[in-house]
Amino acid sequence: MTKLSPIESEFATTEEAEAYDAWFRAKVEARMASKAPGIPHDEVMARMQAIIDRRADGG
């Protein structure tokens, strides 16, 4: 187990980093293979802005 510096990585070990990378890649591949409709860019941006605004207001 190789320890990682918190300055260089958000993970404590290379094993944790590799496990997250594998999980993330699987999620991306599954979404890319999905036939479900995507969310339009403008809608995503509006949702994210609403989240930012709520947090800025203390919510």
Q: What b/e string do you get for 28-53 counting C-beta neighbours within 10 Å, with b at 16 or more? A: eeeeeeeeeeeeeeeeeeeeeeeeee
Q: By the 8 A CB rule, do 13 and 3 touch?
A: yes
pLDDT, average across residues 3-32: 91
Residue 2 in this model has a pLDDT that exceeds 90: no
Full-model pTM: 0.59
Cα end-to-end span (Å), the chain:
40
pLDDT, average across residues 23-37: 96
Q: What is the pLDDT of residue 46?
A: 98
Q: What is the pLDDT of residue 9?
A: 85
pLDDT in tens, 41-51: 999 999 999 99
